[in-house]
Amino acid sequence: MPTPFPLDPLQAVTHADPYSYYAALARDRPLYRDARLGLWVASDPGTILSIMRHPAARVRPLAEPAPKGIANGPAGLLFGRFLRMTDGPRQACLKALFSEFLARQAPLSPSPDWSALAAGTGSASAIDRYPYAAPAFAQACSIGLPGAVAADCARDIGAFLAALPPAAAAASISAGHAAAERLQARLGAHLHDLAAGPAWRELRARGERAGLDPALLAANLAGLLFQSCEAGAGLLGNALVRAGRLGLAGELTRAQARELIDATLRHDPPIHNTRRFLAGPIDLRGQRIEAGATVLLVLAAAATAQPEAHWPFGALDHACPGRDAARHHAAAALRHLLQTGVDSIALAARHRYRHLPNARIPQFDFAEEPTP
Ligand code: HEM
């Protein structure tokens, strides 16, 4: 049974209806230290932007460029190469390169052939897997990978993601390392394929001119798939719940699907938080945040104050370059899912949220917890 009001911003991520809590948080407590969570919490747009702009605020802890569990192996190497996980000139250079690559490549790729995604959609557990697989698969197709390769990449992204949590089991970690090696190799091979399309050739040439290691480029191609996975799962899952609540099942037009995705982003977004790790102290709003602190940036709270500002996709230097792709792919995947006969109304009536710190992702296959 969810509490009537979330007690803190991490509880809010999995709460049935956290949005009035978020509005109050942004209005009444724009910056505070949550002693129980051991985090600083920033929640109004101006405060979040000030932190994002501050040179001491980093996307990773200085001493931990990759999560500890995977640090010593291929998964850690891949993770540490992602532009999302670095700051400074290398991030800026890669960001420009990959934003341009996405813009060049997207119109050249055919729509995904959903039949290549071997995810049965009948059972609740298959429906739980689908929102994770579909966005990475669609993103892989949209960067121009053939369907079968895209499906393999989507599976490997799933295995890589499963290796990241601090509590990941040893078997998941070794599967994540193996998946990272395959991703790095597959995208590297495609990057060096002389028959690759013009956007790939341009990426390769621009990377060479900038003196970038080709392995860094290949890793960041995998990074595009990685970034689409969890956030895309939340967007598709929350849109499915929304469709069910509205009684929408069966065929949707493209326009209806687009509208549903945009309404989901506005009213029930997939990413609620991101974090910054302080390499030095920050003085803000009359308070000092010490070096070494972690600041939780509550994007979903900022969105209640500025609903039209694309907060679910972040802001400033690390703002998401995949916004349009994410909306487009989620709408296509939602149409495909509903066409297969998935009962959105039943799913909306019985779901809970996965226990994740930043992403709001519904789960449909779960056993009821026994009542004490
Ligand atoms: C529903 C889908 C998505 C959501 C809600 C989302 C959200 C976000 C957010 C909030 C950030 C900023 C994180 C921060 O500043 O700490 C981000 C960064 C990023 N996203 Fe997305 N994203 C989505 C899909 C995608 C897709 C499809 C792609 C690939 C085309 C992508 C690529 C990236 C990349 C590369 C970054 C890092 C940007 C940088 O560090 O400069 N995302 N995303």
Statement: residue 2 has pLDDT above 80: no
From the CB of 296, is ligand 1 less than 6 Å away?
no
Tell me, in angstroms, the distance from the centre of ligand 1 to residue 339's CA. Answer: 28
Residue 120 pLDDT: 56
d(CA 11, CA 63): 27
Q: What is the mean pLDDT of the chain?
A: 95
Statement: residue 9 has pLDDT above 90: yes
Burial of 359 from C-beta contacts in 10 A (0-12 / 13-18 / 19+): buried
pLDDT in tens, 201-211: 999 999 999 99
Residue 249 pLDDT: 86
Q: Which atom of ligand 1 approaches the CA of 98 most closely?
A: 35
Statement: residue 118 has pLDDT above 70: no
What three-state secondary structure class fits 295? strand
Statement: residue 114 has pLDDT above 90: no
**Of 139, 317, 147, which is closest to residue 223 (Cα–Cα)?**
139
Statement: residue 368 has pLDDT above 80: no
From the CB of 102, is ligand 1 less than 6 Å away?
yes
Query: What predicted TM-score, i.e. pTM, was given to this entire model?
Result: 0.96
Residue 371 pLDDT: 56
From the CB of 313, is ligand 1 less than 6 Å away?
yes
| Mean local confidence (pLDDT), 354-370 | 91
Residue 81 pLDDT: 98
Tokens 């690759």 -> residue: 196
- Residue 122 binned pLDDT confidence (cut-offs 50, 70, 90): low
| Mean local confidence (pLDDT), 226-234 | 98
Residue 194 pLDDT: 84
| Mean local confidence (pLDDT), 116-142 | 85
| Mean local confidence (pLDDT), 143-168 | 96
Q: Mutation test of ligand 1: which of 203, 275, 320, 328 has the most ligand atoms closer than 8 Å to its C-beta?
A: 320
**Of 271, 276, 361, which is closest to residue 310 (Cα–Cα)?**
271
What three-state secondary structure class fits 345? helix
| Mean local confidence (pLDDT), 259-283 | 98
Statement: residue 359 has pLDDT above 60: yes
pLDDT in tens, 159-206: 999 999 999 999 999 999 999 999 999 999 999 998 899 999 999 999
Contacts of 260 (CB under 8 A, 6+ apart): 239, 242, 243, 246, 248, 252, 331, 334
pLDDT in tens, 29-74: 999 999 999 999 999 999 999 999 999 999 999 999 999 999 999 9
Name the residue with the closest Cα to ligand 1, atom 38. 318
| Strand segments (E) across the chain | 31-34, 39-42, 57-58, 273-278, 282-284, 287-289, 294-298, 352-353, 362-363
pLDDT in tens, 64-100: 999 999 999 999 999 999 999 999 999 999 999 999 9
From the CB of 237, is ligand 1 less than 6 Å away?
no
d(CA 259, CA 338): 15
| Mean local confidence (pLDDT), 257-270 | 98
From the CB of 176, is ligand 1 less than 6 Å away?
no
**Of 353, 119, 158, which is closest to residue 238 (Cα–Cα)?**
353
d(CA 172, CA 69): 10
Name the residue with the closest Cα to ligand 1, atom 35. 224
> pLDDT > 70: what percent of the chain?
97
Residue 123 pLDDT: 78
**For 40, phi and psi rounded to 5 degrees?**
-85, 150
Q: Mutation test of ligand 1: which of 227, 240, 298, 323 has the most ligand atoms closer than 8 Å to its C-beta?
A: 227
DSSP string, 35-101: TTTTEEEE-SHHHHHHHHH-TTEESS-TT-SS-GGGSSSHHHHHHHH-GGG--SHHHHHHHHHHHHH
d(CA 239, CA 272): 15
Q: Which atom of ligand 1 approaches the CA of 235 most closely?
A: 1
Name the residue with the closest Cα to ligand 1, atom 4. 231
Contact at 8 Å (CB) between 329 and 138? yes
Contact at 8 Å (CB) between 59 and 277? yes
**Of 339, 260, 333, 338, which is closest to residue 111 (Cα–Cα)?**
333
Provide the token pair at 39: 């985090």
d(CA 168, CA 326): 27
Statement: residue 369 has pLDDT above 80: no
- Residue 119 binned pLDDT confidence (cut-offs 50, 70, 90): low
Residue 16 pLDDT: 96
- Residue 10 binned pLDDT confidence (cut-offs 50, 70, 90): very high
Contact at 8 Å (CB) between 9 and 25? yes
What three-state secondary structure class fits 278? strand
* Amino acid (one-letter) located at 304: T
Statement: residue 254 has pLDDT above 60: yes
**For 31, phi and psi rounded to 5 degrees?**
-150, 115
Identify which has the larger pLDDT, 170 or 122.
170
- Residue 367 binned pLDDT confidence (cut-offs 50, 70, 90): confident
- Residue 370 binned pLDDT confidence (cut-offs 50, 70, 90): low
- Residue 125 binned pLDDT confidence (cut-offs 50, 70, 90): confident
| Mean local confidence (pLDDT), 9-23 | 98
Q: Which atom of ligand 1 approaches the CA of 275 most closely?
A: 16
Statement: residue 228 has pLDDT above 60: yes
Statement: residue 137 has pLDDT above 80: yes
Contact at 8 Å (CB) between 81 and 60? no
